[in-house]
Amino acid sequence: MDAATARLLLTPEATALLERLPAYDTIEPLSFGSRLRREGADGELVAAVLSQAELRLAARRKLGDFAQGMLFTREGLEQATRLTVAARHARRFRDAGTTRVADLTAGLGADAMALAALGLAVVAFERDEATALLADHNLRHWDDALVVLADSMETVRGVDGVDAVFADPARRTGRGRRHDPRDYSPALDDVLALRDQFPALGVKVGPGIPHDALPTSTPDAPVEAQWVSVDGDVVEAGLWCGPLAAHGGRGALVISGDEAHELTGEPTPGEAGTLGEFVVEPDGAVIRAGLVGPLAESVGAHLVDPRIAYLTSASEVHTPFARTYRVLESLPYSTSRLASALHARGVGRVEIKKRGVDVTPERLRPQLKLRGSASATVILTRIADRHTALIVEPVGG
Ligand SMILES: C[S@@+](CC[C@H](N)C(=O)[O-])C[C@H]1O[C@@H](n2cnc3c(N)ncnc32)[C@H](O)[C@@H]1O
């Protein structure tokens, strides 16, 4: 979005139009737009307002009721931190006793809003003009929240009263996501270098960050690295430095609905054991955090293979950090063998999970020529270096 469109959205006409617009999923946008234009509304304004209505609807999934009063860009919404996670970021700053946080990468202000909602003062930097204008609108209810149109890396050191820093560097380009933290904007190393002035520093990074790019944690300058999943999707890793670190190790925070559970530890290789009656699939946050070994130990399970992140156990495993499946059948993997095993069970629908084997489930599924009425879950993996298919059923629904 350009700054002119952002300004248009901030006019009283746009506000009035947005307020009287029914929910986007209850209108037929083209005919609704034509009606507004016939009633005399400017075409550009109508297009901008309709696209806001659409974005607001999409934003509810991430931002709940907050979305209703906000303005968005499509890219800004994609990059915004979901409210449940932003609220957790904000609590770290409050619990560490910080009072004025510089948000180096405001975006549309989701993280800044969560900080402000906890009563912290926020200086939110954004270098893109349209995004900064909308962030300013989104933060309008909080007197102690200020949006600054500037490059934070050139400015933040000179801002008075700041006692903590948060950054959520941009990780997307027109061609996709950046995994190398040197390519983030701003670069991770540049953000971490601010710790000499702001020891209370937190950075949201991509969950796929290579572990060798993580800053070293020392007793004097601890860094907690916490991977977060929400309802099964790994959404981020947070690097929490100095007083924001609860410990100097790794953590996997698994959020599911209203519940949250954290596994902490140091990455240690787990031991492999023979296949038992149950297979356990660790949550993605546990895998990304490198905590499969510690998880196995804590639930009395073994890895199915030293290099594969499935566990196996002789008894049912109940943990918020993994899903457990009962093994109904285990067979050396080939398409024809798997197909006949599934045919024998009358399986017509199959969920295919895989790890450590080069199979594309979408391509495999039609090759199985399934016809029955039953459904099944299949895990394709490597056990003791052999490609193996496990027909399984989830334990506990
Ligand atoms: C991933 S988004 C931030 C999203 C934000 N945390 C939220 O939840 O809404 C990153 C934003 O940082 C901005 N940005 C990147 N480098 C910056 C810099 N050096 N100074 C100010 N803003 C910057 C980008 O324009 C982008 O809007």
- Domain limits, the chain: 3-61, 77-264, 278-394
170 secondary structure, DSSP code: B
pLDDT tens, position by position, 103-146: 999 999 999 999 999 999 999 999 999 999 999 999 999 999 99
Q: How far is 373 from 6, CA to CA, in rounded Å?
A: 53
Summary mean pLDDT of the chain: 93
329: left (phi over 0), alpha (psi -120 to 50) or beta: beta
Ligand 1 neighbour 111 (Cβ under 6 A): yes
Backbone angles phi, psi at 52, to 5 degrees: -65, -40
Q: Is 77 in a helix, a strand, or coil?
A: helix
Distance 106 CA to ligand 1 centre (A): 5
Nearest to 9 by CA among 66, 67, 73: 73
User: DSSP H helical segments within the chain, as ranges?
Assistant: 3-9, 12-20, 29-38, 43-63, 74-79, 83-95, 110-117, 129-138, 152-155, 188-192, 284-288, 292-299, 335-344, 361-367
Does residue 177 surpass a pLDDT of 70?
no
Q: d(Cα 132, Cα 152) in Å, to the nearest integer?
A: 12
The percentage of the chain sitting over the pLDDT mark of 90, rounded to a whole number, equals 80
Query: What is the position in ligand 1's atom list of the atom closest to the CA of 131?
Result: 27
Copy the structure tokens of residue 355. Answer: 């790890």
pLDDT at 365 over 70: yes
Ligand 1 center to 152 CA (angstroms): 9
More confident residue, 57 or 397: 57
Q: How far apart are CA 94 and CA 151, in angstroms?
A: 25
Strand 374-383 to strand 386-394: parallel, antiparallel, or no bridges (unpaired)? antiparallel
The residue assigned the tokens 């994609």 is 78
Q: At the fourth CATH level, which superfamily is domain 77-264?
A: Vaccinia Virus protein VP39 (3.40.50.150)
pLDDT tens column, 201-232: 999 999 999 999 999 999 999 999 999 999 99
Q: Which residue has the higher pLDDT, 30 or 378?
A: 378
Residue 151 Cβ contacting ligand 1 at under 6 Å:
yes
Query: Dihedral sign, CA of 312, 317, 320, 325?
Result: positive
Among 49-53, 155-159, 334-338, 379-383, the least confident range: 49-53
Is the separation of the CB atoms in 289 and 313 below 8 Å? no
Hey, whose CA ends up nearest to atom 7 of ligand 1? Answer: 80
**Ligand 1 neighbourhood includes 194 CB (under 6 angstroms):** no
> Are the C-beta atoms of residues 326 and 278 closer than 8 Å to each other?
yes
Instruction: Find the helix or strand (DSSP H, E) in which 304 lies.
Output: strand 302-305
Question: Which pLDDT band holds residue 17 (cuts at 50, 70, 90)?
Answer: confident
pLDDT at 162: 97
CA distance 193 to 182: 13
Q: What pLDDT is attached to residue 396?
A: 78
Q: Which residues have C-beta within 8 Å of that of residue 38, sequence separation ≥ 6?
A: none
From 85, 127, 147, 228, mutation site for ligand 1 pocket: most ligand atoms within 8 A of C-beta: 127
Q: Is the pLDDT of residue 172 over 90?
A: no
Whether residue 345 is predicted with pLDDT greater than 70 in this model: the reply is: yes
Query: What is the pLDDT, as a whole number, of residue 272?
Result: 87
Place of tokens 């139009």: 17
CA distance 141 to 242: 30
The predicted model gives 30-41 an average pLDDT of 82
Q: Once rounded to an integer, what is the mean pLDDT over residues 264-279?
A: 90
Provide the token pair at 249. Answer: 């190790």
C-beta of 73 in contact with ligand 1 (< 6 A): no
What separation in Å is there between the alpha carbon of 284 and the centre of ligand 1?
26
